[in-house]
Amino acid sequence: MTRTDSPDRGVSELAPPATPQQVDQAERTLKCKLHPLHRRLLQEIGNGGFGPADGLIGLPGGKVDDDGRSVVELREQLFADHAGAGVPVQIVPLCDWGGGVWSCVDEDTGQVLMLDEAGLTDTGMSLHDWMSDWANGISLAEKLFTFEEHSGINPFTKRPMTARLRSRPIGTPYRGRAS
């Protein structure tokens, strides 16, 4: 068992650490080298299943997302529509926040990006800071997203209620180099 930020989803299982062979094969398939910290997390802690949101998604043979995809398959599917549209090859998904929002990492720089329907947003956070904040119990959702409050009537209790809903990622549009 391990900690993620999705207590309503149950406890995630920590995948065994990735082998050097799994990392090498994933890098060949992804056509980029993993950032040194990303590599260390996968090889020394576990091949996914821990971390922010639903936890890090692993390499093939590790923890997969809810649809059974490793980061290799997920990257291929997320960016399939953007082939030739300037999405750099070194952008790799890290975890799923739900609602069509993913944290990704620029494997060249270690910058954490958010991907949603509007595209890639640079959070201004390094992978090191992102993981340090998570490990120290800081709510990354509060740092990464804007929230909107909506008022209404609870359909069951018929009393007024306010819902706080996650909106857009905080940051600037990603302007990394195209590959």
**Amino acid identity of 75?**
R
Residue type, 63: K
pLDDT, tens digit (0-9, with 9 covering 90-100), for 4-46: 555 454 556 799 999 999 999 999 999 999 999 999 999 999 9
| Core vs surface per residue 162-177: b (16+ CB within 10 A) or e | eeeeeebbebeebebe
All structural domains of the chain with their residue ranges: 7-173
pLDDT score at 11: 53
- Strands (E) in the chain, as ranges, are 91-98, 101-106, 111-116, 119-126, 145-153, 160-169, 172-173
Radius of gyration of the chain (CA): 17
Q: What is the mean pLDDT of residues 106-115?
A: 95
Could you give the count of Cα atoms lying within 13 Å of 133 in the half-sphere of its Cβ? 17
pLDDT of 33: 97
Reported residue count of the chain is: 179
Amino acid at 175: R
Q: Which helix (H) or strand (E) holds 151?
A: strand 145-153
**Residue 32 DSSP code:** S
Per-residue model confidence as pLDDT tens digits over 115-167? 988 889 999 999 999 999 999 999 888 888 877 788 899 999 999 998 877 77
In CATH, the number for domain 7-173 is: 3.40.1580.10
The pTM of this model reads 0.82
Among candidates 171, 167, 15, 30, which has minimal Cα distance to 99? 167
pLDDT of residue 162: 85
Among the ranges given (1-10, 43-52, 57-66), the one the predictor scored with the smallest mean pLDDT: 1-10
Three-state secondary-structure class, residue 104:
strand
